[in-house]
Structure 1
């Protein structure tokens, strides 16, 4: 093998980690593998992607006694006892590391995978996220990494981030999984069969926002002069909500919401990274509402967005009566402020950084990979 190999551990919650990885893989010029749980059977794209390896999921089939011991270890986020899936997961992942001998693994994201990777003597790059990551497990993962990748420019750094973390971070410009388009608002509305009525598009991803329909229903009722289109809520969330939805247009999941974003006067989105970047990529005037997430990820991002004038950032769903004022406030935003976020293609930047670190690691290690058979087949056999 005369080229370094790159591994990507991709977390299974929602699809944001997958989309980010695929955007990077589109530009990566080195052979690569994806390791994940639950989502390995989905279609994956990558220029030189060789395999997608499924490993056991650490949150499946966990007993109540085992779950009760999951937070015992201050250096880890999650380590339940007496859980076969966790034992199998560790064995499968380290078997893959031993067989593939990657030059570097990009961890997006898991402190436990990060620690295993370092213990196995494999260099890693840890993907950062917004949020309060000052806890011991996150800081240990950052220490264990060769570099940290922030999928946002330095201007979007949080004020609470320690200086040493900033110094280790390679900041990226924004990136989006869809192509930029010059289509106008009027043309987008024409293609969607919409008239000229002022339009709010609410975009919520698959990461979970089951209470959102209550707030959106109230928001639409409070702003009768606007058409509200809701993109992305699961049908069961809507059906189980028991609230009126006749004043909402519900599209369900749309893989490419570009036309809807272009048709909007204002976009309302959860303050998740990929949703925000997607709206920003299309220069939408937006209201970003923080959803409850571990480590206050979306809350901290909403603060940054508001600070930088990139969105009206809200730390929680507002009172229904405030929506007219919020929409007016969002309509006054200068969407050209997003130009500085998308100077370069952040996915291409990430690929270049990963290639440089992989090449350096490959050269310094003097290692050679064991002959690659089919690691995914080996792991699947171990699960039988």
Structure 2
């Protein structure tokens, strides 16, 4: 092991940020000091230490909900609720950990406030960005404060406007998948996988049952949790993903990268996220003819034709550039940690 320690902030919304840490950190020579709100994610390399941070989004005893505590500072930031002890303790623990580990670079996946905090401490930062209409003041200041920016998708297929003003600092790595390089299983004829991730969807178990009823002869499986908490988390869905004749998926960055790693024929249904992130990705997939894309969960009568359309796709998923993407991201982090981009 060599080089200065890399700090790494993991956002707590969804599981994709922790999954990306796991994929990239395997290609780093530097030790990593990671920070996040959840328990230590599984399967992190031994070179990664984990510090759990206090939550900053709960209502504290005797206080108002953080949503009414001017969390955006009038639109300047995204989340800094005034007078919230959890928020203050969270940042204080983060500062203490960054100092104790003497980090040479801080990867932020993703938070404007933590990017600014790192820069105020004099630490070079690598900001992992996301698609969508991120032209607000907070994103502008976060991007300006970052030393380098990682866009975990391919250039050319998806180039959001907010990156134009920092284009020289951006590295489009391609889609980062934990499944890069794994061999797919044989396809099971008639099989359909709903790849639902960790929840946060406007789709429930009843929607899935109606789709199943409308497509007799199709063997549907569910990997992940739906919006009504039906289903179950699957630590490693590779076998089901790579063997499905058709995959139905949301349009999160990790999900799309996993579809590309599997060479999947897919129906992609973007879910509502801040700044239209998934819908922007869905438009890119549709325009590149990599997947059948619809803006929301289809009515039952549309499912037979959708699955047939997806089954006959010949998607050129190599255009999503999964091969080598995690290593390219690690190279950016290494360069900043070593001072090459300071």
Q: Structure 2-normalised TM-score?
A: 0.91
Cα deviation code 1:171-204 (max 9, x no counterpart): 112332135114321xxx4xxxxxx5x1211110
> Which whole-Å CA distance do the structure 2 matches of 1:128 and 1:343 have between them?
17
Equivalent pair of 2:203/2:226 in contact (CA under 8 Å): no
RMSD: 2.3
Q: Which residue of 2 aligns with 1:229?
A: 221
> Could you say what secondary structure the match of 1:95 adopts?
helix
Structure 1 residue aligned with 2:158: 157
SS in 2 for 1:154: coil
> Residue in 2 aligned with 1:6?
6
d(CA) in 2 for partners of 1:222 and 1:41?
41
Asked if the contact 2:193/2:223 (under 8 Å) is kept, the reply is: yes
- Contact (CA 8 Å) 1:152, 1:173: kept in 2 or not? yes
> The residue matched to 1:64 in structure 2 has which SS?
coil
Contact 2:176/2:322, CA 8 A, preserved across alignment:
no
The verdict on how the C-alpha distance between 1:159 and 1:97 changes in structure 2, with shifts beyond 3 A counting, is closer
Q: CA deviation at 1:161?
A: 4.2
Gap runs ≥5 in structure 2: none
Alpha carbons of structure 1 residues 162 and 31: separation in structure 2 relative to 1, 3 Å: closer
> Hey, what does 2:64 align to over in structure 1?
64
Max radius of gyration: which structure? 1
Gaps of 5+ in 1: 190-195, 239-249, 365-384
Assess, with a 3 A threshold, how the Cα gap between structure 1 residues 13 and 162 changes in structure 2: closer, same or farther: closer
- Say if 1:199 and 1:44 are closer, same or farther in 2 by CA, change over 3 A: closer
Give the Å deviation of 1:87.
Answer: 1.4
Q: Tell me which residue corresponds to 1:96.
A: 97
1:322-350 CA-to-partner distances (Å, cap 9, x unmatched) read 22222222123212x11232363211111
Question: Do the aligned partners of 2:270 and 2:294 also contact (CA within 8 Å) in 1?
Answer: yes
Q: Deviations over 1:104-152 (max 9, x none)?
A: 1000011111111111111101001112111111111111001100111
> 2: CA distance between counterparts of 1:61 and 1:159?
35
Runs of 4+ in 1 over 4 A off after TM superposition: none
Deviations along 1:294-339, one digit per CA (max 9) or x if unpaired, are 111111111111111111122222222222222222123212x112
Residue 296 in 1 paired to residue 276 in 2? yes
1:328 partnered with 2:329 = no
Query: Matched residue of 1:167: which SS?
Result: helix
Aligned to 2:103, the other structure's residue is in SS state coil
Counterpart secondary structure, 1:56: coil
Q: Distance in 2 between matches of 1:85 and 1:269?
A: 35
Pairing of 1:1-384 with structure 2 (within 5 A): 3-37=3-37, 39-46=38-45, 48-49=47-48, 51-62=49-60, 63-64=63-64, 66-68=66-68, 69-158=70-159, 160-178=161-179, 179-185=181-187, 189=188, 196=189, 198-209=190-201, 211-233=203-225, 237-238=229-230, 252-335=232-315, 337-342=316-321, 344-360=323-339
Q: Could you tell me how far apart the structure 2 residues matched to 1:148 and 1:235 are?
A: 31
Question: 2:220 aligns to what SS in structure 1?
Answer: strand
Residue 262 of structure 1: how far off its partner (Å): 2.5
Note if contact 1:25-1:47 (Cα within 8 Å) is conserved in structure 2.
no
